[in-house]
A = this chain, B = another copy of it.
């Protein structure tokens, strides 16, 4: 699976539940490798923050703030309050105290020379997410957004656009700085090459999945296997977040059909859309319609089960049957 943050993490939990409720032995011992987006990583106060990797890790490891979908449960904000009292900038990124410890460990390991993939593995030693979590790259790839302001164009970090401006400033373009020279992290291409199939969760198709596919070599590897995606757009609006602002920036309509066409039939083999989008047709892509809101663990598991069914059908791999 290629994963962004909240949507990817929640879908992933549904996927684990779905696999747990399948007939043995076909799915026994199934391993999930998650290739996480690192394009919205940011250095704040000298600490290295990897929002998407952490959201996956906390969600599967039982440490997530469930209501919010990101950050830690039972969080406190003493450090943030004090940094603001010192006038430290930026103040628009709300790092909690518990969460901050993760970024302190990561920054320490980075300073000691460890690559992000090794650091992620070390952090997961504690969280035991039950999946293999790999960053898309150990190289620094940062999503920047070109915005028009009074005086002219300016490139800002994705987080500044997303969190500070709530994507309310029009994006002229979205650039993946460093992507051209980045290499997939160790294990990424091998995981894709040996996978039975690849699942694209309802993550942001531009700055999450798109960012991962932008690392040279990953798109080609993914395209060579069976790929089933879950639409992040329902009835012309993003399921959550502000994916429409990102799609607009790259000239793609906010529709399940347009996103599938954007991924392309060379990449995507199957596409799950909501019943509201049952009319979706993209040549070369098998479309199935079902309720697509991940409103409860049960509905999320049902979507993941449908993805497994479709992936099994398209790949010829026996993905078993749900025992539910």
Contacts and interface: CB of A to CB of B under 8 A. Distances in A.
A39 B314 CA distance: 68
B126 A101 contact: no
Given A46-B46, A87-B126, A126-B86, A79 B108 contact: no
B78 A46 contact: no
Interface in A138-164: none
The quantity of this chain's copies bound in the complex is 2
Contacts of A79: 79, 97-98, 100-101, 104
Interface in A95-144: 96-98, 100-102, 104-105, 107-108, 111, 123, 126
Interface string A74-89: 0110110111011110
B107 A78 contact: no
Given A45-B108, A76-B76, A83-B101, 15 more contacts: A45-B104, A46-B107, A75-B78, A76-B97, A78-B96, A79-B98, A79-B100, A79-B104, A82-B101, A83-B104, A83-B105, A85-B101, A86-B105, A87-B126, A88-B101
Interface of A: 45-47, 75-76, 78-79, 81-83, 85-88, 96-98, 100-102, 104-105, 107-108, 111, 123, 126
